[in-house]
A and B are shown apart, each in its own frame.
Chain A
Amino acid sequence: MSLSATEIAQAPKNRTEPAGRTRLTAGWALVALPGMLWLVFLFLVPLYAVLSVAGGHLNAVLSTPEPTWNPLQWEMTNYIDVYHLFVGPTAFVGPILLRTMIYVVIAAAISMAVAFPAAYFVARFAGRRKVLFLGLLIAPFWISFMMRMLSWIDLLQTNGYVNRVLMAVHLTSQPFDWLGGKSVTVILGLVYGYIPYLILVLYAGLDRIDQRLLEAGRDLGLSRFETFRKVTWPMARPAVITGLLITALPMIGDYFTNQMLSGSVSTSMIGNVVDAQLRTPSLQAQGAALAVCLLVVLLPAIAFYVWHAKRSGEMVL
């Protein structure tokens, strides 16, 4: 929310408590109670359920997961299975994890290279046309992810517009099979899917920079590039870091972009593995263990994001 950053800074730090506050503590607790119960039963308990399924074992007869609800009796069986997905003779997930990392790094880098100049232009130079540009930048945010992927499925068909344009300008003599399990298609799909979120974060961060500081930099003799490097960049860095995390974290868990634009195992990502395991009852417990491992690995990045967003005033806690 745009009002958060500036107005929170102006809000008094040590607010004076309204009289009779202590008596009403119970009242406020009561107002928050439905939400608190909701979060306990439909967020904390589900997280506990994943741990219990992951720490449980397989029903030998039905071949379905049998959760162990007592934490003291949690077993390591499923985690050992997950370990063997990465190390050893049956380790087919190791290369998939590596591929996921490569896809996400490339897609995040392309997204940043495209989003930063566009956000920079709109925040700094759009002038009176700012509302128009901002509306167009925000538009993809309102267009369903599925529709955005579908539009590329249409364009990338063998006889689709992309191939027709490429053939018309003689870049290729025969149509390229974009949708037949190509890494480049999946990476571009990830970029197209997540760049609107990145661009909004970058815009918000860049728009907050006081233009007078840049003018002061120029007045004091810095060139355009130096002003950017010494004034704009240090002030934009928090937004860049937040934006990268907000783009990369969902990309890591993405399984649908890949499934829609490729559907081939040659481009599988870690999200596809979890998805496939959840759809097979005998592998569900393993899927739960893999999800727990994924969460543990991503936890530092999530914690850093929250800490960073709080510190730079992008989130109020």
Chain B
Amino acid sequence: MSIEVTQAPMAATPAPAHGADLVTPVVRHRFRGNPWRRPVFLEGFTWLYLAWSLIPIAIAVVFSFNNGKSVSTWQGFSTRWYWGSHSESVFQNPIFRGAIQQTVKLGISVTILTLIIGVAFGIGIHRWRSKTSIGFNFVMVFSYVVPELIFATALFFVFTQLFTGISLGTAAEILGLITWNISWPAIIVMARLNAIGPSYEEAAADLGCTRFQAIRRVLLPMLMPAIFASAVLIFATTIDDFVIVDLLSSNAATQPMSVLIYSSTHGGQSGPQLNALATIMLVMSLVAATVGLLGYRWITRGERGANREDALTTIAGM
């Protein structure tokens, strides 16, 4: 059909133009010829995105080792912002050290408590089918999707106006963070229970297990990957959390690292000791991620469909 279209002007135009006219469709045809060619543009774009998202972080880490007060001019290598001076180094200055300790304290206690309450809640609600359980499932999902600022505002008022025995500070932070994180283990455990189905427990019962034995020896081992993945997620979201701890911390002594970085940077203020603090946070998260990834691979070894991609996405809560 395209030949018919191009032939009409061909007769009227001189020879050179006629030749040029013929080249165009041929080239376009070759261009469309290989449908599985490498998408060079898309790949370049993806690399650009990755550079934009990761290089700033790398620069910030580098400047935490700067031998000077600048965060934009390199003045030589030094670890002075980590260790060496009582007033400047994050491991020695009491305010910075207190923030690091607060973050670790919150991360560990919230992870353990949330895991116990959340996993039990997930199993119980999943197996107990009633109007009440459906209602509580709904409440749990609502706590998962409610905007964090509104959630933190609610907690702020409950601790300042109603549960006045628990004043703002570490206890309020822990209670708030557990509530914010409870939906992680619950949702992940329920998804896993759905995937497992009832047949394994029935088989265990057929083979003479009691209810309790079936849960302890069959169900819990099968839930281990889900429990482990949620532990890593809870720990990571807790040490990164900002809004809840910002509203529930009472003074400098109960501020974790995220709040300290925020309150020291208002309006573009900065300094290498903040970079050092942020680098410590980064190391903590990356250690958690690595432990999570390796641990998850180890727990799911030999499982059908277990691979590195699955481990990566599960640990990120996808």
- Least Cβ distance of B267 to chain A in Å? 3
Per DSSP, chain A at the interface is helix
CA distance A131 to B139 in the complex (A): 36
Number of B interface residues in the complex (CB < 8 A): 114
- The stretch from A23-31, A74-82, A84-92, A95-103 touching chain B is A23-31
List, in ascending order, chain A residues with CB within 8 A of B136's CB: 32, 35-36, 39
CA distance A233 to B286 in the complex (A): 35
B120 touches A49 (CB 8 A): no
- Least Cβ distance of B236 to chain A in Å? 6
CA distance A44 to B236 in the complex (A): 25
CA distance A253 to B179 in the complex (A): 19
- Least Cβ distance of A26 to chain B in Å? 9
Known: A46-B158, A49-B154. A315 touches B187 (CB 8 A): yes
- Least Cβ distance of A290 to chain B in Å? 9
List, in ascending order, chain B residues with CB within 8 A of A196's CB: 53
B46 touches A118 (CB 8 A): yes
List, in ascending order, chain B residues with CB within 8 A of A125's CB: 38-39, 42-43
Cβ of A261 within 8 Å of any chain B Cβ, yes or no, is yes
Q: Which chain A residues in 189-214 approach chain B with CB under 8 Å? A: 192, 195-196, 200-201, 203-204
Cβ of B299 within 8 Å of any chain A Cβ, yes or no, is no
CA distance A111 to B281 in the complex (A): 26
Contact among B35, B59, B147, B211 with A250 in the assembled complex (CB-CB below 8 Å): B147
Q: Which chain A residues in 248-284 approach chain B with CB under 8 Å? A: 249-250, 252-256, 259-264, 271, 274-275, 278, 284
Number of A interface residues in the complex (CB < 8 A): 121
List, in ascending order, chain A residues with CB within 8 A of B146's CB: 295, 302
CA distance A146 to B278 in the complex (A): 7
Cβ of B282 within 8 Å of any chain A Cβ, yes or no, is yes
Contact among B63, B124, B194, B261 with A30 in the assembled complex (CB-CB below 8 Å): B124
- Least Cβ distance of A72 to chain B in Å? 18
Known: A2-B310, A146-B262. A18 touches B205 (CB 8 A): yes
CA distance A177 to B271 in the complex (A): 18
> C-beta contact mask, A114-126 vs B, less than 8 Å → 1, else 0?
1101101110010
